[in-house]
Structure 1
Amino acid sequence: MTQTKPSIPDPCRLISRLMTGRRSVTLTAVLAAMLAACGQPEQNTGSTEETPQDMTQQTVQDVPADHAGDAAQDPYLWLEEVEGEEALAWVEARNTVSKARLEGHPAFQAHYDKALAVYNAEDKIPYGELLGGAVHNFWQDSNNVRGLWRRTGLDSYRDTAPDWQTILDLDALADAEGENWVYKGRDCLAPDFNRCLVRLSRGGGDAVVVREFDIEERSFVENGFVSPESKQWLAWVDSDTLMIATDFGDGTMNESGYPRQVRLWKRGMPLSDARLILDSDPALVFNFPMSSHRRDGTYAGVIQGPDFFTQILHLWVDDDLKTLPLPREIDFKGFFADWMLIQMRKDWSLPGGKKAASGSLVAVRVADALAGTPADSLTSLFEPDDRQSIDDVQIGQDRVYLSVLDNVTGRLISAAPQDSAWVVTDIAMPENGTLSLVSVDEWRDAALIGFESFLQADTLYLAGNTAPTAIKALPARFDAGALMVEQRAATSRDGTRIPYFVIRPENFRKDGSAPTMLYGYGGFEIALTPSYLTGFSQLWVENGGTYVVANIRGGGEFGPRWHQAALKANRQRAYDDFIAVAEDLVAAGYTSPARLGIRGGSNGGLLVGATFTQRPDLFGAVICAVPLLDMRRYDKLLAGASWVGEYGDPDNPDEWAFIREYSPYQNVAADADYPEIFFFTSTKDDRVHPGHARKMAAKMTDQGHEIIYYENTEGGHAAAANLKQRAFTDALQMIYASQSLMKKE
């Protein structure tokens, strides 16, 4: 399926997949990454594959009448003015103090150099996307800071030194045009994949400029498709027609700052004249044009999101959009011949006694879906048990690949139609790690599959009509010989068993003395799986630290039910789970509160914010990155309205009642004894407003608490626009964590 997908960066593992181009992810995962609040990238950057126009000039937004009292009592509201003179002066003052302490530390440079050397290493695996037998890769290193988009043939790709052909040099483009371009990916039209829609961001935000590019000519198309800067999505209908959802002017963006209209745009036509084919209520979260161009069929349409985890499918049929009468609690995966593949978010009962279980992957013939008779062909491809979930689905030329989590470790299967049934086969791959569908070619029988674990560097396999063969391997970036991994479980407040991984020295003594960093996310159905340590986590374990990854509810480790268990009124369960893991680590002698730190970004920043305000006695350090913190106003800031389905609506008194109980900004107290907190964010983050971190830091400072604050002035929601900036924040975190928990720096 040549399905148009946005590429977006972020610190949970999924966002890292998108940012680095290492993984090919499904539509809903991409939308989750685009719309969700995730954190700072932690993964290997072997190859890299993203504000309406005035978003970074945003002023303080209007306060609803029922929030007027809160606003009047909030002396820090001025810090929400992103580029305000006073606000930026405050940021600069805090940055100066923080950098003097952290960057000025004697050990800072060594940590920075180590992280940057890994990011810039020439022997990284050049992960890429398979398109019609070619491999497209986006590469960054010390000489190509903004990066190179390049390609080679699949046979050449298997070689140690592939014959890469540069398609677009982003450093040269930025210099020539005087723009701070950050590459956000491209969508190329099958079957020759020569014409591509390239997404370019100014400074790393989610808003992009889209420009048509001709690969053979190595240039942007003269008088080709160009869409101005916006948060936007496009899909090829044919070589001269696009479906586009963008900012068409007043009243055409929704409450979350995403497009509410989809139009049909013909070549040579002014964008303003594009034909309106779908409009929506401004409360809807997204309207996502998609297309599929395969040998066995071509489809186009729109996926509409009434809220974050429901979808309405519309297909382009006879020059019009037809709405498919399907349940809304679905995750559309794509097309295979005359079948459409869907993952269920809730149980589905059909006429004739047929059922599709929540979390399962099913196939339905397109004609039956259009006719309203899906039961006539509905077939289940895979139904996970209670300790399993489907992590990813990718559609190839001859088969469908499924990456499955089995107790949070990977398993790979394939499915192919045979007559009216589907034959499902296990594919032999290494165990006790993470299996990732890096890229699957829809025009050749080929798939790239990655395997990694916390201590085992990535290996890339080529699969298809033969058994998977290892074709590339990442050299070890650190000595893992003295380290080991354990999987344990803690018991949460309601009795639920919460799994977690511990990466620690082998000669470990359970006397409570180990400096330990606990990482979590717990939101948007995103699973944290074993992945090779890099960045901060690598620096931490190399210097004797213990690193812990918690698989708390709200994530996707065990499918939709694990996520839904911590939605809205049940959000506290995610925080109870995280606290339970921390308490279990202390009770088992792994660490002690003075030696235990917590770390999270975006939704994970909210996690650590809620946790340290509830249990300040349990932690000695907190790293809170690009966070949500003021949950009274989160839905009024940037993309926040798109997350109401996750957290609840603070304008609804009944829902504010439970949000108020955990919102960090409302619960931080002057008389509490908190550990020193390290906040960091980005001025250019047009997803999670930097005002969250700014206001929390200012409030805590005025209350007399110790905090460290750093704000990168570019970099989007990843808080880093390039590898140097990412290494810089890694080193800042390492100095802070060492000073707080190792008591030696």
Structure 2
Amino acid sequence: MSPASARSATMAGMTGVDAQQTDPYLWLEEVTGDRALDWARAHNEVVVEHFATSDRFSGLEHRILDMLDTDTRIAYPTRRGSRLYNFWRDAEHPKGLWRRTTFEEYATDDPAWEVLIDLDTLAAAEDENWVWGGAAVLRPEQSLALVSLSRGGADAKVIREFDMATKQFREPPSPDDDTADGFHLPEAKSQLRWIDADSVYVGTDFGPGSLTDSGYPRIVKRWRRGTPLEQAETVFEGETGDVMVSAGYDRTPGYERHYVARATDFFNESVYLLEDDGSLRFIDVPSDASESWYKDWMLVRLKTSWTPETGDGTAVTYPAGALLAIGLERFLSGARDFDVVFTPDEHTSLHGYGWTENYLVLITLEDVQTKLYVVTPGDWQRSPLADAPPMATTSVMNLDPLEGGDEFMLISSGFTTPGTLLASSVGGDTTPLKQEPSFFDAEGIVTEQFFATSDDGTQVPYFVIRHRDRIGTPGPTVMSGYGGFEVSRTPAYSGASGMGWLERGGTWVMTNIRGGGEYGPQWHTQAQKAERHRVYEDFSAIAKDLVARGITTAAQLGAVGGSNGGLLMGVMLTRYPELFGAIVCQVPLLDMKRYHLLLAGASWIAEYGDPDKPEEWEYISKYSPYQNTDPDRAYPPILFTTSTRDDRVHPGHARKMAALLEEQGHTVWYHENIEGGHGGAADNKQMAFQAALIYEFFTQKLLDEQAR
């Protein structure tokens, strides 16, 4: 939105919102308050009028929507034995269809699908704005499912039991119908997991004191069919300061196991096997490690180095990022002589792993490029699994050790290469299944990888996607970033950025800054809490490197990020404004003094620190965008986007920041989707609008204005 014509006397000259003063914009934290929504709608009108009324915008919006709705997209499946499940949206079904088919049918050019739930029909019949939240199918029968639905795309969901044969929801017990016995949970951030056809593990809002400070279940219970939720049997309780507790059941034939887990923070969890008598057997590995088991084997992926006590006086130290294996029963009996399945190096990290019936599959990243391997359990020998093209990401999907043998699927795509889906098996042939079409003209567009030197000397990689004619000539460029929670960003096809930016002559940049997991867990832990400044130093170093290489200029450089990446954008605006010509900040965290008090914010203290502790607020306060705005410093124009229904990152962050910047006289634009959840959109139409808005903003600020 255009700058305010005048500043109020109380705000004139203010540098951010001082932690000691009353926040003048607290009223914007009232998510559905009339005053706050009126404020949001007024800003929406200005944004729509300025960016979303031209033929150029409409043309792009329709192209993106056509891409999202087309039947030529790959219907990516989830495998359950011989059946493949898929959730599908198109122009006729904007809310979507949950459906399934067989593998044989899926392999045909025009597979026939059995529709299980038509969400548009359901939403209309129940007069609810249902958004799909997923389904847990009971194995092996596949006769029942626990279906999650949210109102408007929120994290909080209603969970209802669905009968696959009748294609109807099973009604919960009620005084009016003593024959109804379906599992049903009202709207909450719940967990509901199958044990068998007549019992589940449930964690939900059981009443006062049953949730953690983060708003997730603190108590998990076993709930039997036909009994009221109030009679469910408690099996485990955590503390209010935990993030959450959970329980589950491993139904591998001959290896059935019950387990519970207590997440004490976002990165630390204690896991226990739950015995028949209710006793717990602790899985004694570092709490920040990821442990899993399959049949006789247990795997441990380390986030920090570990020297376990062996009991015989010997000691072996295993490095951070390593994957270890041991017999589960031997481990429970005290053995600690692990086999090392994978060891990282300075260029290579473990990106993922999973089991087929007889083998372990590893996905690694070598300088952010995929390599695939298969490992034989027991001797743990590793050999290549399949070829992975360069400058692309190849993922292994639909491993099904319970019923699927050694079969799996591969999906591969790059920045300019649409997705290809292949079927394969360990030791068998690889067969193409589906190929997505191109949605933009990629002729002459090339992908390059460069490394920038951060402030502490670390080499930070990034990818540049541009037309070869742009090489040697600085041009409009948009760089994206995230940098948190060990989330790795790898090459992937984006039809929207191709249509909205690359075709218009722009250059796109994807950064792999610290805070992510591209080089293993240490790439993340180097940037936690007091070291978070490295995230921002990495991103700014790439911005400077882009200019130094002649790829762009500061005036032509834009930046975009969402959620934790929205925080990154807020820091770029307030700390490095001279590096950018325009910024888009999506569903962001910005007020780091209050983030832990809003919605799920308390669960992220392990990432950012606790602002209520003076020693931790000391370093948070140095970058918290809401506390570091400056009315006298020149800022690039910024577009904030968020969602009213985002119940993960509070929309108050974006609202308050926009209001403060506007009051200080900066050029600010703000758009809030009244639906959409943390993803910002509840259906394809909303997704198309959001994407077109972002590219139109960058086009106006970096292409049109530079051309004048």
What TM-score, normalized by structure 1, do the two folds share?
0.88
User: How do residues 64-463 of structure 1 correspond to structure 2 at under 5 angstroms?
Assistant: 70=19, 72-222=21-171, 223-332=181-290, 334-350=292-308, 351=310, 352-371=314-333, 373-376=334-337, 378-417=338-377, 420-432=378-390, 433-442=392-401, 443-445=403-405, 446-463=407-424
Alpha-carbon spacing, 1:323–1:699, altered in 2? closer, same or farther (3 Å): farther
Check the 8 A contact 2:18/2:627 in 1, yes or no. Answer: no
Q: Secondary structure at the match of 2:326?
A: strand
1:4-15 aligned at under 5 Å gives the runs none
Contact 2:662-2:668 at 8 Å conserved across structures: yes
Do residues 535 (structure 1) and 496 (structure 2) align?
Answer: yes
Map of 2:433 onto structure 1: 471
- Determine if contact 2:305/2:319 at 8 Å carries over to the other structure: yes
Question: Which residue of 2 is the match for residue 650 of structure 1?
Answer: 611
286-295 vs 594-603, which moves further: 286-295
Residues 333 and 393 in structure 1, CA contact (< 8 A), matched pair in contact too: no
Across the two proteins, how many residue pairs are aligned to each other? 673
Q: Write the distance in 2 (CA, Å) between the matches of 1:201 and 1:94.
A: 26
Structure 1 match to 2:464: 502
Deviation at 1:330, TM superposition (A): 4.0
Question: What residue in structure 2 maps to residue 701 of structure 1?
Answer: 662
Amino acid at match of 1:732: L
Alpha-carbon distance between aligned partners in 2 of 1:618 and 1:414, rounded to the nearest angstrom: 45
The equivalences for 1:468-617 within 5 A come to: 468-512=430-474, 514-536=475-497, 538-617=499-578
Distance, in Å, in 2 between the alignment partners of 1:573 and 1:165 is 50
Which 10-residue stretch deviates more, 141-150 or 423-432?
423-432
Shift of 1:537: 5.2
Secondary structure of the residue aligned to 1:349 is coil
Q: Call closer, same or farther: CA 1:361–1:217 in 2, change over 3 Å.
A: farther
Give the 3 Å change call, closer, same or farther, for CA 568–724 of structure 1 in structure 2.
Answer: same
Cα deviations across residues 228-259 of structure 1 (Å, max 9, x unaligned)?
A: 11101122222222111111110111111111
CA–CA separation in structure 1 for the residues paired with 2:47 and 2:695: 13
Letter in 1 for 2:682: A
Structure 1: gaps spanning 5 or more residues: 1-67
Look up the equivalent residue of 2:259 and give its one-letter code. G
Q: CA deviation at 1:306?
A: 1.0
d(CA) in 2 for partners of 1:447 and 1:330?
A: 29
SS in 2 for 1:656: helix
Shift of 1:415: 2.3
TM-superposed deviation, 1:475: 1.2
CA shift at 1:397, angstroms? 2.1
**Could you report, residue by residue, the CA deviation over 1:497-528 in whole angstroms, capped at 9, with x for unpaired residues?**
0000000111114343x100000000000011
Give the Å deviation of 1:659. Answer: 0.3
Higher Rg = 2
1:216 to partner: Cα distance? 2.2
Tell me how far 1:87 sits from its aligned partner: 0.7
Larger deviation, residues 680-689 vs 381-390 = 381-390
8 Å Cα contact 2:347-2:366 kept in structure 1: yes
The residue type equivalent to 1:406 in the other structure is: E
**Partner amino acid for 2:451?**
A
Check 1:349–1:467 CA distance in 2 against 1; reply closer, same or farther (3 A cut): farther
Q: Which stretch of the first structure deviates more once superposed, 635-644 or 460-469?
A: 460-469
Distance verdict in 2 for CA 1:297–1:691, change over 3 Å: same
Q: Which amino acid in the other structure matches residue 108 of structure 1?
A: F
After superposition, give the CA deviation of every residue in 1:88-116 in whole Å (9 maximum; x if it has no partner): 11111111111111112331101101111
Question: Aligned equivalents of 1:517 and 1:212: distance in 2?
Answer: 45
The secondary structure found in structure 1 opposite 2:417 is coil
Aligned-pair distance for 1:204? 0.4
* Residue-by-residue CA offset, 1:156-175 (whole Å, 9 max, x unaligned): 11111112111111111111
8 Å Cα contact 1:451/1:458 also seen in 2: yes
Q: Secondary structure at the match of 1:315?
A: strand
Local SS of the residue matching 1:581: helix
- Cα distance between partner residues in 2 of 1:99 and 1:541: 23
Question: Contact conserved, 1:441 with 1:447, CA < 8 A, in 2?
Answer: yes
Shift of residue 217 of structure 1? 2.2
- Counterparts of 2:498 and 2:656 in 1: how far apart (Å)? 28
- Higher mean Cα deviation, 95-104 or 230-239? 230-239
Percent identity over the alignment? 42
Secondary structure of 1:440's aligned partner: coil
Are the counterparts in 2 of residues 296 and 336 from structure 1 also a CA contact under 8 Å? no
SS at match of 1:294: coil
Q: Contact 2:275–2:281 (CA<8 Å) still a contact in 1? A: no
Q: Please state whether the residue corresponding to 2:48 is helix, strand or coil.
A: helix
Please, which moves more after superposition, 484-493 or 71-80?
Answer: 71-80
Mapped contact 2:238–2:244 kept (Cα < 8 A): no
For structure 2, the residue ranges without an aligned partner over 5 or more in a row are 1-16, 172-180
Could you tell me how far apart the structure 1 residues matched to 2:292 and 2:398 are?
Answer: 15
2:411 counterpart SS class:
strand
Deviation at 1:563, TM superposition (A): 0.3
RMSD (CA atoms): 1.6
Q: Secondary structure at the match of 1:224?
A: coil
Q: What is the CA–CA distance in structure 1 between the aligned matches of 2:29 and 2:120, rounded to whole Å?
A: 32
Q: Answer whether contact 1:568 1:647 (CA < 8 A) is retained.
A: yes
Measure, in 1, the Cα distance between the counterparts of 2:395 and 2:700: 36
Residue type matched to 1:311 in 2? Answer: E
With over 3 angstroms needed to count, the CA separation of the structure-2 counterparts of 1:423 and 1:291, relative to structure 1, is: farther
